[in-house]
Structure 1
Amino acid sequence: LLPDFLSQLPACAEDRKVAADCTPSNLHMTPMPFDAKSTGFAYGDLCGPDLPYTNLPWMLRRVYGSSSSRLAFVVNLREPLHRMQSAWYHAMQIDFLSVCRDCKALSFVEGLAMTLDRFERSPPMYDDWLWQSMPSLQLPWWHSEFDARQLFVLGTHEYGRSGFRLLCEALEPFLGVDWDCEATRKDTHANTHHHPSLSEEPISAALERQFNRTFEPDTHRLVKELASLQSQGATLVGYQGAAGSVRDVEAWLRQAW
């Protein structure tokens, strides 16, 4: 497999360049919990949880070999409900042919309710857009293959407020590059769609409780995982709290994503 893969790559250029893969699904390509079932575009229809090609960090570590320590991973986090709403309206614009298939419904609220119901089955069913909104279950797999210092985590709102500068300043020394992080960059937009704000969605109190029942444990796990990673050298972009402080990391996450 590796020789075939390498044969398709272009020859290395003489001048050094930093290359990036901005595929949004990379983070989520890790094994699911042992008893879970997955569907949709979460690669669940293609393979089981124990097969190696469901574990992207495992594969990347072996493809890059001794050079794997030079990789930097940027993790962009977004609050789950906002993320799922955005995913639904994006998918709706393309007739649910991409982004998420399991979210297909007449409305965002209807799709959300069906997904949460399936998750509460035994064993739980992880619809594609649900699994993609649970980074606490995925980050440990990346840390098991790569040093925490290779992880750079930022929140969607923080990125919207601060732009590229803070992330740029964090990546510069690790990558050994000299970027003009203070330069003004013109914002570019892609896959943008008009949709109502969350406050305008007819989310019932019962559905809100069901959502919180599903995602509060994930958020608690995520905070603990981020605090542990930060204490081991991971960069939480914009974080100014104490090293490894669960309380400070939670405060950072709440305002950053």
Structure 2
Amino acid sequence: MDKKRKINESFNENVENIVEGKNPVIEALRSETTVEKVYIAKGSSQEGPVKLIYALAKEKRVPVIEVDRKKLDDMSTIKAHQGVIAVISPYKYSTVDDILNYAKEKGEDPFVIILDEIEDPHNLGSIIRSANVFGAHGVIILKRRSALVTPTVIKASAGAAMHTRVAKVTNLTQTIKELKERGLWIIGTDMDGEVSFQSNLKGPIGLVIGSEGKGISRLVKENCDIIVKIPMRGDVNSLNASVAAGIIMYEVVRQRGI
């Protein structure tokens, strides 16, 4: 077995445990994630973001290894490493209890994003990024029929996935029922709903975002307390799932007066 093949096999064993790109790696180093090592392209040590990566890695005692860019190309799964790749411990998912407890620790009404079969990793990453920006306490996804947190998702989230609690559940309908029992008001999103800014989105909220093609599934929709929509005025009558999620999240924050 030649040396190149050995390298590739070693990297392939850990493709789910790498973070690619300058900003995602910086956020990984700033988060509670365990970063095992960082690979930097030779000749890039004087770049501003790379200097920060060196400083953060030194602070957390994470080894930094300078390698040829070709080696980073071989490691990369999304082909957008920007000369920086970090190897992390397996992504640690949270639980629904973790998310609700985090809201309690902050003294805030729970604000939870519930994703119904979001399969596009770029959409998932963007939604996690918006959830973090707008102060949501966590994101709930399905264990199956859903994108999981991968290097692509971490990159698409600009590193926000390293700071955001993401819980995997087996049955979304059952989870929604349990959240309702714990006092959350479940808001679904669908074009058949009432206009979002005319609805009361205050208090403990679970915001359900449907899949890219089918929207919210029937059972999930039936278990929502209300359904809201974003008013459309143009020639196109639909929005990308992550864009729609961001708009509704902002409305929740606006009504909370934060």
TM over 0.5: no
Place the TM-score, normalised by the shorter chain, in its bin: under 0.3
TM, length-normalised to structure 1: 0.27
Q: TM-score, normalised by structure 2?
A: 0.27
More strand by share: 2
- Which is bigger in relative contact order (C-alpha 8 A, separation at least 6)? 1
Give 1 or 2: higher helix fraction.
1
